[in-house]
Structure 1
Amino acid sequence: MKLHFRTLGAGEPLIIMHGVFGSSDNWQTLGKVFSKEYKVYLVDLRNHGNSPHSEDFDYDFMVGDVVELMSDEGLSKSHILGHSMGGKVAMHLATKHSEMVDKLIVVDIAPKYYPPHHHQIFEGFHAVDFKNLQNRKDADKQMSAVISNIGVRQFILKNLDRKKDGSFEWKLNIAAIENAIEKVGARIEGDVSFDGATLFIAGGTSDYIDNEDHDLIRSYFSKADIVPVEGAGHWIHAEKPEELGQIVIKFLAS
């Protein structure tokens, strides 16, 4: 699949991949920071953002998409950064195609299994009635009946797109993601590893990476450093962008 992406800057390549329900837009601010030293590829994974939709949705397909992108761009090797689901894609890419990965950065996700926990977000998507939608404010009001957190609603509503005829649609392939949500939480399987330079960045208040996960991480990524960002939850790039940016830049320059 030909993924939608945009590039910023020049230098060694750095591919950035977002989490589930996200898009390349989520990383635009930090992408500009990194683009001072690197050629940054901000990618929309399949079924997200402006990339094509498909019923085929698991890590094998997503990794294949990134391999195709790198081949099309003439990239034999790249730094790889992924957040949450994008971090899982990054881990799978590094362990299956280690020769294509220079330095690996994984943001707030471990190689373990995560049970589905996005029920409320799916309810939020389904709560929006496009037949009675005049603007984004209407969508937010409809969604507030099931999601009280305005920050979560704003994150979801970034996926709302106005068509040429003035009506609205979701950029996301909600049905495919919902049908495959169990696969999104899948762990890294098999006797695979990546022995290159690796950095795991954990949100200090997030429960996605526990101390008990450190041994599991290093069983797959022998050179992994694990760095917490205090005061940050799961969306570190939105909550603590300066701190995250400094950690990434220091690691890539080392």
Structure 2
Amino acid sequence: MWQWIKTLYHRLGSPKWFYDITNRWIPWLVAFSAIGAAVGLVWGLAYAPADYQQGNSFRIIYIHVPAALISQSAYLMMAVAGAVFLIWRMKMAAWVARVIAPIGASFCLIALLTGAIWGQPTWGTWWVWDARLTSMLLLLFLFFGVMALQQAMETEEAGHKASAILALVGVVNIPIIKYSVEWWNTLHQPATLKLTEKPSMHPDMLIPLLIMIATTYVFFALLVILRTRNEILWHERKRSWVKQLLEN
């Protein structure tokens, strides 16, 4: 098992191998994303029963929760990729961290916007300086900071190093986001899904939410792969295999 993981790790560090292997994955990821989004959104927005307290306004959960989860997961993945680059100087890790930043920022912005839309009928206001909202806003600024450092340094390698360090420092914000509703008195409702507790949602509401979460993770993977492939083509453009690929 360990040998397999080690082999996979070294293969993923090869731009050509990554480009070739992901070419087989893309059609499956596209198909799953399209089918999952169609099923999850239609089920959640059209057929799931209305919430007994919030009515139909709760339906934004099928976009808000997946976006919020992805934004936090994206930050952790970006930080891990940054750590791999700092420790082992793997260029593929630096490229992956680079492409994750704007994708994660986009999902974080979607989470904040949908949360504001959800909060207006629920709380009577678009925004409050709630612990959960404030920590999510800080997450967005961290994504922006990572992207800014990647561009601000004199050399690309220096940008990778600086942004990786910031990403690792910012990881402390992730548990704050997760436990903010437990550590402080907030308007934000507790977590909808918990690994240690049975879901309180009705299955007709829960199943489409799980479908949307899984679909969003697959869509996120698709975006990361596509943008990483572009990074590979740009950085490896002088390699013979890229020249041959572009000629064909």
Q: Please state which band the TM-score falls in when normalised by the shorter chain.
A: under 0.3
Tell which structure's C-alpha radius of gyration is larger.
Answer: 2
Normalized per residue, the structure richer in strand is 1
TM-score, with length taken from structure 2: 0.24
Normalized per residue, the structure richer in helix is 2
TM-score, with length taken from structure 1: 0.23
Higher relative contact order by CA 8 Å / sep ≥ 6: 1 or 2? 2
